[in-house]
Amino acid sequence: MNNIRPPQVAGYFYPSDPVKLQKEINLMLANCKVSVSAKIIFGIIAPHAGYIYSGKTAAYAYNAINGKKFKTVIVISPSHSEYFSGISIFDGDAYQTPIGILEVDKIISEKLLNQSKVIRKSQEGHRREHALEVQLPFLQTVLKDFKIVPVVMGDQTKLYVDELASAIAYVMDEDTLIVVSSDLSHFHNKMEANELDSVIENHIMNLDPESLMNDLASSNCEACGGGPIAVMLKAAKLKNIKSSLVLHRSDSGDTTGDNREVVGYLSAVVYGD
């Protein structure tokens, strides 16, 4: 493997020392137990702030898949660091974290690319993006022997949501998992944030991507990864997956004690019988 994307936010969003990182993740998992009795787990939603702020909420989602077996994990992230049109699948060989190397599943990547002209192989969105990267150490802790498809949405409007959802539904099977990376509302007071974030929570519980997209467009709710959330919900409907559960919701004020301008976090699981 010649083209390996090194970690960009280790030592900032999470510990750069592998021993400290593993210890921190294991502690969060131990303290955030959840039980999901489902034969088929289609995907999870997890936040992407620094672990000190959102790691506990993320741990609930990762406990839902802890010890399960998947061959491929499609990780869908928004782009914070650069704007580009379309949808970018990493064109390299692997992502690296302090825990180790995660190889890109090039077979599933090619199948996605062949389903839509708005999906392309690129470095765009992958160079410095934290939202995708912070999910990977959790995945390396709870799963074994899997590859990833790193997907970053440069544009989250309806066309791109529909195209990616259709492509993902085409490649999904019981050996494949979706991980969506998203935070919720930004910089409202705690009460306002709760009102906004409860709108997204209801849409996830109802598996309603259309209403979610409408409310995002109307500013009735906020999520930097709203498009990726809608992608998973829409793909789930295309695959006749009918159940979802919001596992935990929090905000940055729970850590800092400052409730004047908070960032919202949510974890959820989408599953079938």
Q: What is the mean pLDDT of residues 88-100?
A: 98
The pLDDT of residue 214 is above 80: yes
- What is the structure's pLDDT at 210? 97
Q: What is the mean pLDDT of residues 94-100?
A: 98
Fold of 4-272: Protocatechuate 4,5-dioxygenase; Chain B (3.40.830)
Q: What is the mean pLDDT of residues 115-123?
A: 96
Task: Choose among 181, 242, 173, 240: nearest CA to 206.
Answer: 242
Q: pLDDT grade, residue 2 (50/70/90)?
A: confident
CA 179 vs CA 44, 117, 168, 196, 225: distances in Å:
5, 23, 12, 22, 11
pLDDT digits (tens, 9 = 90+) for 24-36: 999 999 999 998 8
Q: Which helix (H) or strand (E) holds 151?
A: strand 147-153
- What is the structure's pLDDT at 35? 82
**120 has which bridge partners?**
88
- What is the structure's pLDDT at 142? 98
Structural contact between residues 181 and 79, judged by C-beta atoms closer than 8 angstroms: no
Structural contact between residues 45 and 183, judged by C-beta atoms closer than 8 angstroms: no
CA 38 vs CA 50, 78, 90, 92, 192: distances in Å:
29, 28, 31, 34, 34
- What is the structure's pLDDT at 113? 97
* Percent of the chain's residues with pLDDT above 90: 96
- What is the structure's pLDDT at 273? 81
pLDDT digits (tens, 9 = 90+) for 63-81: 999 999 999 999 999 999 8
User: How far is it, in rounded angstroms, from Cα 103 to Cα 95?
Assistant: 7
- Tell me whether strands 4-5 and 186-188 are parallel, antiparallel or unpaired: unpaired
Q: pLDDT grade, residue 38 (50/70/90)?
A: confident
Structural contact between residues 135 and 181, judged by C-beta atoms closer than 8 angstroms: yes
The pLDDT of residue 3 is above 80: yes
The pLDDT of residue 1 is above 90: no
Q: Which of left, alpha, beta for 145 (phi over 0: left; psi -120 to 50: alpha)?
A: left
Task: Choose among 248, 62, 44: nearest CA to 141.
Answer: 62
Q: Give the side-chain half-sphere CA count within 13 A for 218.
A: 10
Mean of per-residue pLDDT scores for the chain: 97
The pLDDT of residue 60 is above 90: yes
DSSP state of 80: S
| pTM of the predicted model over 0.95 | yes
Who's near 259: CB < 8 A, 6+ residues apart? 189, 190, 251, 253
Task: Domain ranges for the chain, please list them.
Answer: 4-272
Q: What is the mean pLDDT of residues 206-235?
A: 98
- What is the structure's pLDDT at 37? 79
**Quick one: how far is CA 76 from the chain centroid?**
5
Structural contact between residues 36 and 269, judged by C-beta atoms closer than 8 angstroms: yes
Q: What is the mean pLDDT of residues 234-258?
A: 97
Q: What is the mean pLDDT of residues 260-266?
A: 98
User: How far is it, in rounded angstroms, from Cα 120 to Cα 123?
Assistant: 10
Q: Around Cβ 63, how many Cβ atoms within 10 Å?
A: 25
